[in-house]
Amino acid sequence: MNNIEYNVCDWYNEGIPSDLANNTNNFNTRYVVERFLNKDRSKAHSMFRNPAKGLLKALDLTSENITDSEAFSAFAFMNFFQRPEMSAGKSLNFNDCDVKHANDVVKSVVEIIKPRLIVFLSQKAFDKLDQTLIADSEICAVSHPTCPHWNGGNGLDKFINALKETTILDEFNRYKPLKESEVNKIIKNIDRFKLVRKKSFNKDVINCKLISSDNELNEIIWYFNGAYGIGYLVKYNVLWIWNYKTKSYVDENDPNVSKIYNEIKEFIENKL
């Protein structure tokens, strides 16, 4: 793809030059990101890996809780400049035409997805942003994730602080390990639930059993109506319903369980 020459304005007016038609994967952002997400990676993919690791660090999580691919999926990623540099390893020598098209596209994307936070991973790109076009979103710029400065105050630290100052981290609470002691306190304050050490049924309340190892909660099981159990697998964020008499799984819309199922689901979403 090196040394291919073309008229810059034609890139926007006529589309991809014919000489590049068979090399689009080299500058197809979606393809490059998909390779990263599917673990088909090169050193250049630190562009995505380092911000993903930054999100894990901001949440005090490790790869055992959530993979860097899952973490990166929290972001909507795009290139600011809409014309790629054709020489590998070099930066784009942009002009006024590139800047105009870049701002037009960013404005359109922001209007559609309405992000709470926009992080520029390039100071050079950020300097060409017309911030009046996206005034409703928080914006910051950090050092490029592939450069040595990423690990300094203007890189990773600034990135983490920007994440913490928005509510984006709240959406990842389900990946945090739940402590049995903390959940125990929450359940004790709910009259509807009664903590038990083994499977048991009660007509007046919903019995609740916590299953953990080393104080890290693995599963919560609620017993009710003389035969039913609803379990929550913490690590996988999955609910199951079981009839202990018929020894079979039950659908969430079954009239015998639907009301309590929704009550428990709401408890998980709002309390844990």
Q: Which of 147, 175, 203 is the last residue of a domain?
A: 175
1 part of a folded domain: no
Could you read off the pLDDT of 151-209 as tens digits, one per residue?
A: 989 999 999 999 888 766 766 666 667 888 889 999 999 999 999 999 988 878 899 99
Q: Which of 175, 209, 236 is the last residue of a domain?
A: 175
Contact 42, 91 (CB under 8 A): no
The pTM (predicted TM-score) of the whole model is 0.62
Q: Which of 154, 175, 196 is the last residue of a domain?
A: 175
Structure tokens at 54: 């930054």
Range of the domain at 75: 8-175
3 part of a folded domain: no
pLDDT in tens, the chain (272 residues): 445 555 666 778 776 766 666 666 667 888 888 888 888 888 778 889 999 999 888 888 777 777 888 888 878 899 999 988 766 667 788 889 899 999 999 999 999 988 889 999 999 999 999 998 887 888 999 999 999 999 989 999 999 999 888 766 766 666 667 888 889 999 999 999 999 999 988 878 899 999 998 878 889 999 999 999 999 998 778 999 999 999 999 999 999 999 999 999 999 988 88
Specify the DSSP element, H or E, that contains 44.
none
DSSP code per residue over 215-265: TEEEEEEEEETTTEEEEEETTTTEEEEEETTTTEE--TT-TTTHHHHHHHH
pLDDT of residue 104: 95
2 part of a folded domain: no
The number of distinct structural domains making up the chain is 2
Structure tokens at 18: 């014919």
Report the DSSP pairing between strands 228-233 and 216-224. antiparallel
